[in-house]
Amino acid sequence: MGFLDIDNTTKSYGAVEVLHKVDISVQEGEFLVLVGPSGCGKSTLLNMIAGLEEITSGEIRIKDAVMNGVHPSKRNIAMVFQSYALYPNMTVGQNITFGLEMHGTPKPERDKAMKDVASLLQIEQLLDRKPGALSGGQRQRVAMGRALVRNPDVFLFDEPLSNLDAKLRVDMRTEIKKLHQKLGTTIVYVTHDQIEAMTLSTRIAVMNGGYVQQLGTPQEIYDAPANIFVATFMGSPAMNVLPAKVEIENGRPTAQVILHDGSTVSLPFSQDNMKDWAGKEILLGIRPETITDEDAADRKSSNIAHMTNRIVVTEPAGSDTFVTMTLGGKDVIARMRSDANVQAGADFTFAVNMEKAVAFDPKTEARIAP
């Protein structure tokens, strides 16, 4: 029993099922992020929690009370919309207290609640302005103020940062995280931005095609993605996925990978269960940051493999230099230190941290190791 339970919930439009048996239990104070590409059903799920969309089957419970069919205003939730949805004809102060007014809170209490929230979000000086006279970041704050003032059980955020410019987005991201740490509220947050998902959440639900592909902490999702979709969706640049063949060498399972010139390099696995796949083709997942030069290799890793391969392109990005090579017939990206001595067209000896490597079944695309 969680604080917010999404119990075998499905959503259909006519005969088309768009959400398939979603089962998530959120604890009090958790920050759950629903992340996925557009059309994956994440916003639909959020709207179902809010009561703006009906639940086709299954149950949604908040504090053990079934919410199916309960009006949005009676669920004790608050929502921050992508467009902020501030009432254009009302001042900031009226926007913030509209919900309290509708719930019949007396005026003195409303004013006090408004002042508290305004000082928390540092928007006191904006209270008499109309939303049209505010900047994007200010509107964002007001929208959060409107949600906070009701002191709800669950906060719902629907891509709240996607309308802000890049710099402001990073600032507001930190702001939201601070607010969550300070208030300890339960939050469900929808985004298509995997960095937002990683940085904000205590748990992530990666969604695609109406299915929850994986539910777990950011670390679990990043280190042990359930399948190739999760592996490549989370992380930037995306995880390299390349074909390899498993063979046993000196009693250890290894991945045989083809280099740019057609020769084969042998990368030993850390996981013994890969022996079961001996002689079979797999898909090998290697994160860009685990391919480095020798000096930058992880000292704590017990399994650093080496390979010499030709560099195709280098992309210096300031903090890192991205190096593209051909491995297993695919373009593979390595994330090097910015001062690594790499040159396009030259051969280079890479250190691969195989402790972090992930193996996938090429048929089901599901993870087989670790």
Binding site for other proteins (CB under 8 A): 50-52, 71-74, 77-79, 81-83, 85, 87-89, 98-99, 102-103, 146
Q: Which is nearer to other proteins, 123 or 325 (CB)?
A: 123
Least spacing, CB of residue 293 vs other proteins, in Å: 50
Look at the block and give the residue holding tokens 């059309």: 39
Q: Which is nearer to other proteins, 146 or 367 (CB)?
A: 146
Least spacing, CB of residue 306 vs other proteins, in Å: 54
Q: Which is nearer to other proteins, 79 or 161 (CB)?
A: 79
**Contacting residues for 333 by C-beta, under 8 A, at least 6 apart:** 237, 240, 288, 322, 323, 324
Q: Which is nearer to other proteins, 3 or 81 (CB)?
A: 81
Least spacing, CB of residue 15 vs other proteins, in Å: 16
* DSSP category for residue 239: P
Q: Which is nearer to other proteins, 132 or 318 (CB)?
A: 132
In this structure, are residues 274 and 368 in contact, taking their beta carbons and an 8 Å threshold? Answer: yes
Structure tokens at 128: 């008499």
CA distance 15 to 295: 58
Closest CA to 143 of 188, 190, 49, 78: 78
Helix (H, G, I), strand (E, B) or coil at 23: strand
Q: Which is nearer to other proteins, 103 or 107 (CB)?
A: 103
CA distance 74 to 76: 6
Element (H, E) at 34: strand 31-35
Least spacing, CB of residue 85 vs other proteins, in Å: 4
Least spacing, CB of residue 273 vs other proteins, in Å: 49
Least spacing, CB of residue 99 vs other proteins, in Å: 4
Bond before 370 cis per omega within 30 degrees: yes
**Contacting residues for 280 by C-beta, under 8 A, at least 6 apart:** 245, 246
Closest CA to 117 of 154, 89, 150, 83: 150
Least spacing, CB of residue 36 vs other proteins, in Å: 20
For the four alpha carbons of 267, 273, 277 and 282, in that order, the dihedral sign comes to: negative
Q: Which is nearer to other proteins, 96 or 297 (CB)?
A: 96
* C-alpha separations of 54 from 58, 68, 73, 75, 152 in Å: 11, 8, 14, 14, 21
Least spacing, CB of residue 147 vs other proteins, in Å: 9
Q: Which is nearer to other proteins, 104 or 262 (CB)?
A: 104
